[in-house]
A and B are shown apart, each in its own frame.
Chain A
Amino acid sequence: MAKKDKSLEAGAAEANSIEMRETAGLSQGQLVRKRFFRHRGAMISMIYLVFIVLFLFTAGGIHLGTKNAPFTIPGWWHWTINDLTEVAYGTGDKGQLTVGAPTMNLNPFAGKAFGIGDHPFGQDTIGHDYFALVIRGAQQSIMVLLVVGFIGGLIGTVLGAISGFFGKFIDAVLMRFTDLIITIPTVIIGSVIGMRLGNLGVFPLALFLGFFAWTGLARLVRGDFLTLREREFVDAARVAGASNNRIIFKHILPNAMGVIIVSITLLLSGAILLETALSYVGFGVQSPDVSLGTLISTYQDSFQASPWLFWWPGFFIISIALSVNFIGDGLRDAFDPRQKRKITRKDIAAAHKVEKAAKAD
């Protein structure tokens, strides 16, 4: 009897310690962070993206500023986008002539020189090192993504939130303004600005895109806010003494996070394409500078002869877009407490096993 009491006590103590651990108050932010770090796909993508960004900016160096007052930190790669090298001619697998084939060979049994060589991604038709071009292009595209995502996301979320929350006159004014922006064709405005101001580089281009890309997001956020502000928890917060700012940003915004994140990730993949289009009409990235979009559009005809001119920019676009999507996915799940782990086939099999065992008993 005494023994039983003891074990009971020990059990109670253990339960107590578990309870102590569970009662430590966590804020909404802490819980969201915890859930995000537990999302495997998002974490892998995050690490990958950080690695890519570090790789790109150390290899290619950092080039900011204007033409007249450049600010440059050189990278560790020995070619820059302006270096012209001797074009290497060779023969391909099928005996055809190749121009500037990649020197990278990571297969030790291939019979060629092992290692990355002088031009690991090859050369373009006039002798630029393609590795340097791709690095530079990916830098530009990441810059576009970050700036467009930030500017467009910020404007869209704030305008949509204000419009949906306050409604009435403010809503009418803001939404007509949004309609106005939607009716203006971005590409035409872009080409006019490009004509007037000439080549401005990638940063002003990204800013410009950000100022035009927020419309869809603003409408979605507004719609979400219109329904969410009628919910009783908003009244409850107001009774608790919360200000309008607090209600918008602390109470309603986390509930609209799913819509915001999904819409921003879509906006980002659109931004890459829009950047290419604008560069084509003469605003943004101009030769000799490159972006991933301009690389692909420049060399789209050489897919048959020199496919590597296509592979590498494509690889970077896809992998960056994918990891951005995964991170968005992870964020959305972290903000939505109802999201549960997906049931896998393994779980079902395990459940069957338990059921069978129970039947055998």
Chain B
Amino acid sequence: MTTTPVLEVKNYNVDFWVDGSWYPAAIDMNFHIKSGEVLAIVGESGSGKSSSSMGLMGLLASNARVTGSVLVKGTEMLGTNVATLRKFRGREVSYIFQEPMTALNPVYTIGFQIIETLRTHFDMSTEAARNRAIELLTLVEIPNPEASVDKYPHQLSGGQRQRAMIAQSLACDPALLIADEPTTALDVTVQAEILDLMRNLKDKLNSAVLLITHDMGVVADLADKILVMKDGFTVEQGTADQIFNSPKHPYTISLLNSVPKLGSAPSRDLKSDASGGPVLSLKDVTIEYPKRGRVPAFTAAKNVTFDIQRGEILGLVGESGSGKTTVGRAAIGLIPVKSGSIEIVGKEIAGSSQKQLREVRTHTGIVFQDPASSLNPRLPIGESIGEPLFLAKVAKGAALDRMVEDLLDSVELPRSYRNRYPHELSGGQRQRVGIARALSMNPDILIADEPTSALDVSIQARFLELLQELQDRLNFACLFISHDIAVVEILAHRIAVMQHGVLVEIGDRDQILQSPQHEYTKMLLSAVPVPDPAEQRKRREARLKSK
């Protein structure tokens, strides 16, 4: 084992030329990674973690300026010619990207893409390269590698695509692997598998890994050393133990505090009164997406039954494809149901006409997953918020203006924002607008469909607080849909778990979290990464043993 670091970065700066001046994305970074080591760069969106890693190998857009020194195995990367860079890219330094569907070329088989990488860097026959590709796919534990090598990206599942992506980046035994949010697009159980795989590979191949992520749980699982970034500055650097157990910088401390930790949220008292009957009631609801051409009909939810009382928050948890969003949308009449009944404050909405639905919708509100796409980009946000009121003919003109201002106040946004367009707001602010709109009609039931999945942890923490305050004050019922159990734990009184369109378990929050009955719930709980290296190690070992 050599003592010279694989990657050494000194006085490293990245700036972008935007609107007539240089905006710094990374300021004076210094770090190094030895082989077999994992350095995690942690930060929230906009902190410069991705730009700085792309800049290492000259992969930034032409309006970027990179200065300082980047040594890969002792060779300077900055300012060298493109040919040298190309020799290092893929060969010595390789990348794993966030979204494997977009990072793999959809018109070539994964085998072809791995073979291409191999043959660019080595003199190899197609035959030999193909054998090596199969070997690599075996290494990343893709089932049936001889057949998978000829598959197209869309024929693989999300986790398998990410494995194929890793196989491609490992093709030339790189000395340094840069993984940019490698598990963000994946479900928790798949994420756990990929993290295990990366840990094994790193030990087997003895490469250095530069891990870029916002997820403290992932960091706790993998990293040896951690570098915390904020607004381009390195605020703190140290070993994983140092950062997690004795953080020094206030930003690191607040970052760690805002990460929701499973099993630490105080329990919430239920102010519900069952006297008025359930606000939302689903009975044997089955939802089917009809057959389209050669694509067969798909049952997204089967026999789902649950009630929500006034003032109660039900957390609906499941992985992607489990049908939780479908149920949320059907509950508000956006998707027709095939059979079963959905009642909102006693009114049946399954199979009712548009006109009846419009009447029922005055009792409902919905917060969508992606605030960027759920607000009309051409409509000033004041108008978006006031639209339900205007359409229900509650108010218009000056009275409507006043109500919009009150709503903006209640979600803690300045009143002057009402004439702004959605793109002028940050993600957290946009999601507040989404809440203000959902609450404008003072609904009996609020459906929140992954409202925090697009937000940074610190913003998410503030958002959850706000939602709690509002719910305590207005006492609406809420169906809170999320893939993140730790978030659901903070808010929910009861939790329902879905898998493949079936509601596998439903019960009180503490009962589900502490003594889960169903196998799937147990698996889901054990896969959640915890932002604590020691605890995470324990959980990992327990998980491996149970296998």
Contact = CB atoms under 8 A, between A and B. Distances in A.
A104 interface: no
A245 to B, nearest CB: 12
B374 A235 contact: yes
B418 interface: yes
B404 A241 contact: no
Contacts of B377: 233, 255, 337-338
Interface in B384-415: 384, 386-388, 391-392, 400-401, 404-405, 414-415
Contacts, number: 112
Given A241-B358, A241-B391, A337-B421, A28 B379 contact: yes
Given A23-B419, A236-B376, A338-B423, 12 more contacts: A23-B405, A23-B415, A23-B416, A25-B386, A232-B370, A235-B368, A236-B374, A255-B376, A257-B378, A337-B378, A337-B424, A348-B20
A355 interface: yes
Contact of A25 (B329, B361, B391, B401): B401
B383 interface: yes
B392 A241 contact: yes
A239 B404 contact: no
B373 interface: yes
A31 interface: yes
Interface string A244-276: 001000010011010000000000000000000
A204 B94 CA distance: 67
15 contacts: A23-B405, A231-B374, A232-B370, A233-B384, A239-B334, A239-B364, A239-B365, A239-B366, A240-B361, A241-B358, A241-B391, A257-B378, A338-B423, A351-B20, A355-B22
Contacts of A232: 368-370, 373-374
A235 B391 contact: no
B437 A25 contact: no
B408 to A, nearest CB: 9
Nearest to A253: B378
Given A239-B361, A241-B391, A255-B377, A350 B20 contact: yes
Contact of A22 (B365, B404, B419): B419
A231 B378 CA distance: 13
Interface in A108-143: none
B131 to A, nearest CB: 43
A237 interface: yes
A172 interface: no
A305 interface: no
B145 interface: no
A31 B419 contact: yes
A237 B382 CA distance: 14
Interface in A300-341: 335-338
A235 B357 CA distance: 13
Interface residues of A, number: 37
Given A232-B374, A236-B368, A251-B379, A241 B419 contact: no
A214 to B, nearest CB: 23
A240 B383 contact: no
A19 B380 contact: no
A238 B364 CA distance: 12
Nearest to B22: A355
A240 B401 CA distance: 17
Interface string B169-191: 00000000000000000000000
A83 interface: no
A357 interface: no
B332 interface: yes
B305 interface: no
A347 interface: yes
Give the one of A19, A233, A236 with max B CB within 10 A: A236
B375 interface: yes
B258 interface: no
A348 B22 CA distance: 10
Nearest to A19: B416
- What are the nearest 4 A-B pairs in CB distance? A351-B20, A22-B416, A232-B374, A240-B388
A257 B380 CA distance: 16
A226 interface: no
Contacts of A231: 373-374
Interface string B408-439: 00000011101101011000000000100100
B19 A343 contact: yes
B84 interface: no
A26 interface: yes
Interface in A16-41: 18-19, 22-28, 31
